[in-house]
C-alpha cells in the first residue's frame, strides 16, 4: 500500500514538471510568437482558413468573440443530432448499432458539444464507428479548443491597456487545435496503441474466457478517441465502463499516462497566464490555491479507500488491499482514489473505477470537487471559473480595506461584480433545483424506475448526476437509470446552461474591464499575487461552496457515512 501511495505522489510531481514549459509554449502560441511546430503546422492552419473562408487577422471585441463561439457551437449541435438519429443506416457500422432516440440524441449531442460527455448509453453498443469519429472525436477536439480560445481572449483582455480589440476567436481556436491539442493527443494515442488499445475499423471479436464463456469484444478506432478524451478533458468512454476497461486502459503505464494527459493542459494554463501577462507570481498564487484545494480533496479520498469498508471488515474479510469493490486489481485502491479526484477536479469525467462503489467520504469529495468547480478545471474554462472567484475576492478585499476594488489596473465596479455573482451562484442553482425536482418525482410519481438504490445513497446518485452535468464533468454514480426522457432532457438543459453561462460571464467581465482606463499601481494598490490574497480567494470559494451545498451533502454522503460506521 505504501508503494501505491508513493506512485500516486510521483504521478502528481511528474504532471507538474512538464506543465511549466508547456505553459510557456501555450503563451507563445497565443501571443503569435514563433514555436518549433510552426514549419510543420503553418500549412495546416492556412488550409483550414482558406477552405472555410474565415479571416484570422480581423480584430474582435468580446461580443464578437462570443457571437462566433456560440454560432459555431449551434451548427455543430444540429449536425450531431442528425448523425446520432441516423447512424443505424449510415456507413462504418459493422456491429449494426441502432440509431438513437430523439431525447437520447438531444442529451448526447449537447453533452459532447459542451465538453461534458455525460453518457446515457454504453459506448461500444451505442455508437457506430462513424459516430465515434465524426461526432465523438471531432467534438472532443473542438469543444476543448472552444474553451482554450475563450481563455486566450481573457488573457488578452487582462493586459494593462485600454482597448476593445481582443484578438481573433477563430485564430485562437485553430491554434488551440493544431498547436496544443493535436500534438499532445498524438503522443498519448501512440502510447495507448503500443500498449494494446485497438486502433482499427474491425467489428467485434470473440474469445473464450477462463470460465469457458464466449465473449464478444468491441474493437475499432479507440486509441485516438481515448487520447483526446483525456487531453481535452472530455471524458467520454469508448467502451461502456470507460477507462476501467482492459482495452481502454490496459496497464499501469497507460493509467498514469491517462491521468497526466487529463491534468497537463489545465495545469499548464495556470502557468501560461503568468507568462502571457509577465506576472509569474500571479500564476504561482493561483497554482497554490488550486493545489491546496486539490490536496484537501484527494488525501481524504485515498485514506478512505485504503481503509476499506467497515461492514465488510465485520464479516472477517481481509481488506489489506483497500475497498476494492468496483475497482481494477492491477490499478489498486490508492490510484483509483487519486484518479477519481483528478477527473472530478479537472472536469474530465473519465473513470478507472466505479464511483458508485466508492466509500461515502470519497463520494463526498468527488461531489465537492465538482461543486467548487474552481481547482484546475477543464481546458480553458478552468481558469475562467477561477477568474470569477478572483473578481469576487478583489471586491470583498476592497470593501475590507476601504479602497475601490482593482484588478490588473482596472476598477471592479457594480456591473462586473453582479456578473461574477450570477455566474458563481448559477452553478449551485442548477444542481440543487434539478436534484429537488428529481427527488420530488421519485417520491410522488408512479412507474418511474430511476433509482436502483434507496435511501441516502439514492439521493447521492441524483445529486451526483446534476452536479456532474452542471460542472461539465460527465462521470456518474451508475446506480441511476438515466436513459429516460426526464434525465436526458433535464440534464441536457443543465449541461448547456452550465457550460455557456460560465463562459459568457468571464468574457463579459474581461471585455468590460479591457475598455476601462488603466490605473498605475501605487502604494495603496491591493496586491493580487500574494499569499494573503490567495488565502482570501480560497476562503471565498470555501464559503460559497459550504453555504450552497452542505445541506444537500448532509442528506446524501454524510448521512450514508454515519449509517455504515
Least confident stretch, 23-32, 232-241, 358-367, 426-435: 232-241
Written as nine digits, the cell of 202 is 474491425
pTM exceeding the 0.75 threshold for the entire prediction: yes
Region 243-251: mean pLDDT is 91
Say which residues have a Cβ less than 8 Å from residue 562's Cβ, sequence separation at least 6.
none
Q: Grade residue 194 by pLDDT with cuts at 50, 70 and 90.
A: very high
Q: What is the pLDDT of residues 465-512, one digit of tens each?
A: 999 999 999 898 877 888 888 899 999 999 999 999 999 999 999 999
CA-closest candidate to residue 428, choices 503, 505, 342, 502: 502
Is the pLDDT at 161 greater than 90? The verdict is no
Cβ contact 517:428 at 8 Å: no
**245: which 3 cell numbers?**
476497461
The owner of cell 465485520 is 314
Using DSSP, state whether 217 is helix, strand or coil: strand
Q: CA quadruple 483, 489, 494, 495: dihedral positive or negative?
A: positive
Spatial distance between the Cα atoms of 44 and 478, rounded to a whole number of angstroms: 41
Q: Which among 290, 284, 259 has a CA at the least distance from the CA of 271?
A: 284
Sequence-ordered list of residues with C-beta below 8 angstroms from that of 268, at least 6 positions apart, any chain: 19, 20, 22, 23, 25, 26
pLDDT, tens digit, 9 for 90 and up, residues 392-421: 999 998 888 777 788 888 889 899 999 999
Q: How far apart are CA 475 and CA 464, in angstroms?
A: 8
Q: What is the DSSP letter of 133?
A: I
CA angle, 206 as apex, 204 and 211 as ends, to 5°?
140
Q: Is the pLDDT score of 445 beyond 70?
A: no
In terms of Cα–Cα distance, which of 244, 248, 247, 256 is closest to 329? 244
Q: Give the least confident one: 211-220, 348-357, 407-416, 469-478.
A: 211-220
Q: How far apart (Å, rounded) are the C-alpha atoms in residues 23 and 236? A: 25
How far apart are the C-alpha atoms of 145 and 169, rounded to whole Å? 10
Q: What percent of the chain has pLDDT over 70?
A: 97
Cα–Cα distance for residue pair 43/56, rounded to 1 Å = 14
Predicted pLDDT of residue 524: 67
Q: How many residues are present in the chain?
A: 565
* C-alpha grid cell, residue 487: 434525465
% of residues, the chain, pLDDT over 90? 65
pLDDT at 4: 82
* For residue 515, pLDDT beyond 80: yes
Cβ-count burial of 288 within 10 angstroms (0-12 exposed, 13-18 middle, 19+ buried)?
Answer: middle
For residue 116, give the nearest of 258, 237, 234 by alpha carbon: 234
Residue 484 in grid coordinates: 429516460
Quote the CA–CA distance of 289 and 268 in Å, as a whole number: 15
Task: Look at residue 449 in the predicted model and tell me its pLDDT.
Answer: 55
Buried/exposed code over 467-498 (b: 16+ C-beta within 10 A; e: otherwise):
bbbbbbbbbbbbbbebbbeebbebbbebbbbb
What is the residue-averaged pLDDT of the chain?
90
- Give the N- to C-terminal CA distance of the chain in Å, as an integer: 23
Q: Give the count of beta carbons closer than 10 Å to the beta carbon of residue 188.
A: 24
Rounded to 5 degrees, φ, ψ at 482 are: -100, -5
Our CA angle for 421, 373, 183, nearest 5°, is 125
pLDDT of 447 = 44
310 vs 234: CA distance, rounded Å: 35
Torsion of CA 166, 168, 173, 179, to 10 degrees: -90
Q: Tell me what the mean pLDDT of segment 426-445 comes to.
A: 85
Q: Give the residue, 534 or 311, on which the prediction is more confident.
A: 534
CA angle 89, 93, 95 (to 5 degrees): 115
Average pLDDT over residues 22-27: 96
Cα distances (angstroms) measured from residue 451 to each of 438, 454, 479, 525, 561: 10, 7, 7, 54, 20
Beta bridge partners of residue 199, listed in sequence order? 221
**Lowest-pLDDT range of 101-105, 121-125, 407-411:** 121-125
Give SS3 for 451. strand
- Its sign, for the CA torsion 355, 474, 253, 272, is negative
Cα separation of 163 and 160, whole Å? Answer: 10
Q: What is the pLDDT of residue 2?
A: 67
Residue 218 in grid coordinates = 468491441
Non-local CB neighbours of 445 within 8 Å, separated by 6+ positions = none
pLDDT for res 518? 82
Q: Give strand pairing partners of 411.
A: 406
Amino acid at each position: 500500500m505504501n508503494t501505491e501511495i508513493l506512485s500516486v505522489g510521483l504521478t502528481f510531481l511528474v504532471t507538474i514538471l512538464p506543465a511549466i514549459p508547456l505553459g510557456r509554449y501555450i503563451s507563445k502560441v497565443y501571443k503569435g510568437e514563433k514555436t518549433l511546430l510552426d514549419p510543420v503546422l503553418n500549412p495546416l492552419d492556412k488550409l483550414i482558413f482558406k477552405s472555410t473562408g474565415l479571416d484570422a487577422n480581423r480584430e474582435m471585441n468580446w461580443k464578437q468573440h462570443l457571437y462566433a463561439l456560440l454560432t459555431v457551437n449551434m451548427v455543430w449541435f444540429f449536425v450531431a443530432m442528425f448523425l446520432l438519429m441516423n447512424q443505424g443506416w449510415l456507413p462504418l457500422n459493422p456491429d449494426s448499432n441502432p440509431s438513437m432516440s430523439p431525447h437520447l440524441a438531444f442529451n448526447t449531442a449537447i453533452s459532447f458539444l459542451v465538453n461534458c460527455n455525460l453518457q446515457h448509453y454504453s459506448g461500444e453498443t451505442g455508437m457506430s464507428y462513424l459516430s465515434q469519429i465524426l461526432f465523438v472525436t471531432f467534438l472532443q477536439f473542438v469543444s476543448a479548443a472552444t474553451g482554450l480560445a475563450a481563455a486566450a481572449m481573457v488573457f488578452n483582455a487582462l493586459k494593462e491597456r485600454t482597448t476593445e480589440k481582443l484578438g481573433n476567436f477563430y485564430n485562437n481556436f485553430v491554434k488551440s487545435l493544431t498547436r496544443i491539442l493535436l500534438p499532445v493527443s498524438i503522443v498519448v494515442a501512440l502510447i495507448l496503441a503500443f500498449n494494446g488499445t485497438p486502433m482499427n475499423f474491425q467489428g467485434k471479436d470473440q474469445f473464450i474466457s477462463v470460465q469457458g464463456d464466449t465473449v464478444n469484444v468491441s474493437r475499432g478506432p479507440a486509441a485516438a478517441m481515448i487520447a483526446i478524451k483525456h487531453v481535452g478533458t472530455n471524458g467520454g468512454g469508448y467502451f461502456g465502463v470507460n477507462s476501467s476497461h482492459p482495452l481502454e486502459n490496459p496497464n499501469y503505464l497507460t493509467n498514469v499516462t491517462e491521468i497526466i494527459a487529463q491534468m497537463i493542459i489545465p495545469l499548464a494554463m495556470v502557468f501560461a497566464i503568468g507568462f502571457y501577462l509577465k506576472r509569474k507570481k500571479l500564476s504561482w498564487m493561483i497554482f497554490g490555491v488550486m493545489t491546496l484545494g486539490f490536496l484537501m480533496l484527494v488525501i481524504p479520498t485515498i485514506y478512505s479507500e485504503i481503509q476499506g469498508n467497515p461492514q465488510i471488515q465485520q464479516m472477517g474479510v481481509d481488506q489489506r488491499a483497500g475497498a476494492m469493490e468496483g475497482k481494477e486489481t492491477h490499478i489498486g485502491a490508492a490510484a483509483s482514489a487519486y484518479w477519481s479526484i483528478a477527473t472530478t477536479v479537472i472536469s474530465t469525467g473519465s473513470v478507472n473505477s466505479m464511483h458508485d462503489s466508492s466509500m461515502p467520504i470519497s463520494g463526498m469529495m468527488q461531489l465537492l470537487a465538482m461543486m467548487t468547480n474552481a481547482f484546475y478545471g477543464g481546458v480553458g474554462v478552468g481558469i475562467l471559473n477561477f477568474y470569477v472567484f478572483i473578481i469576487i475576492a478583489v471586491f470583498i478585499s476592497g470593501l475590507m480595506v476601504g479602497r475601490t476594488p482593482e484588478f490588473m489596473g482596472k476598477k471592479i465596479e457594480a456591473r462586473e461584480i453582479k456578473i461574477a455573482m450570477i455566474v458563481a451562484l448559477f452553478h449551485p442553482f442548477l444542481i440543487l433545483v434539478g436534484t429537488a425536482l428529481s427527488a420530488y418525482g421519485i417520491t410522488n410519481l408512479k412507474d418511474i424506475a430511476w433509482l436502483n438504490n434507496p435511501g441516502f445513497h439514492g439521493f447521492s446518485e441524483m445529486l451526483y448526476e446534476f452536479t456532474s452535468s452542471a460542472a461539465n464533468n460527465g462521470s456518474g454514480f451508475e446506480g441511476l437509470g438515466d436513459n429516460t426522457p426526464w434525465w436526458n432532457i433535464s440534464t441536457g438543459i443543465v449541461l448547456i446552461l452550465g457550460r455557456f453561462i460560465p463562459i459568457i460571464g468571464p468574457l463579459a467581465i474581461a471585455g468590460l474591464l479591457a475598455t476601462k482606463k488603466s490605473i498605475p499601481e501605487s502604494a495603496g494598490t491591493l496586491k493580487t499575487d500574494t499569499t494573503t490574497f490567495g488565502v482570501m480567494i480560497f476562503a471565498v470559494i470555501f464559503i460559497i461552496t459550504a453555504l450552497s451545498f452542505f445541506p444537500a451533502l448532509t442528506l446524501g454522503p454524510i448521512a450514508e457515512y454515519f449509517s455504515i460506521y
